[in-house]
Amino acid sequence: AQTVTQSQPEMSVQEAETVTLSCTYDTSESDYYLFWYKQPPSRQMILVIRQEAYKQQNATENRFSVNFQKAAKSFSLKISDSQLGDAAMYFCAYRSAGSNDMRFGAGTRLTVKP
């Protein structure tokens, strides 16, 4: 069974600085997708970034980028120039290309200090 582990229950960053959130996963599949979702206090689930396992290039979306290490089964999220609006729970998620359900980690709560 695939599992997703986020080892940092809470993280804190100073506004305008950079923070990295960690995620590891366990799978025997070769074709899969990885995601980071943001859950602000409103409890919406907002897609931040997506990575296809077959792509070697790390995905980037503006201030958000990932470090995807397939051999190590690691998928960390880097937030640059942190803003107060980045404060939220961040969930790492995995989905096999051949299945429909997503597996989520337990989340990391990010606090941004002004």
Partner 1 sequence: GAGVSQSPRYKVTKRGQDVALRCDPISGHVSLYWYRQALGQGPEFLTYFNYEAQQDKSGLPNDRFSAERPEGSISTLTIQRTEQRDSAMYRCASSLVPREKTQYFGPGTRLLVL
Instruction: Using CB under 8 A, list all residues that contact partner 1.
Output: 4, 33, 35, 37, 42-47, 50, 52, 91, 93, 97-107
Give the 3-state secondary structure of residue 1. coil
The tokens for 102 are 């997503």
Closest approach, Cβ 56 to partner 1, in A, equals: 17
Closest approach, Cβ 14 to partner 1, in A, equals: 25
The tokens for 33 are 């997708």
Q: Is the dihedral of CA 6, 11, 16, 20 positive or negative?
A: negative
Q: Given the complex with partner 1, which of 1 and 71 has the nearer CB atom?
A: 1
Closest approach, Cβ 9 to partner 1, in A, equals: 9
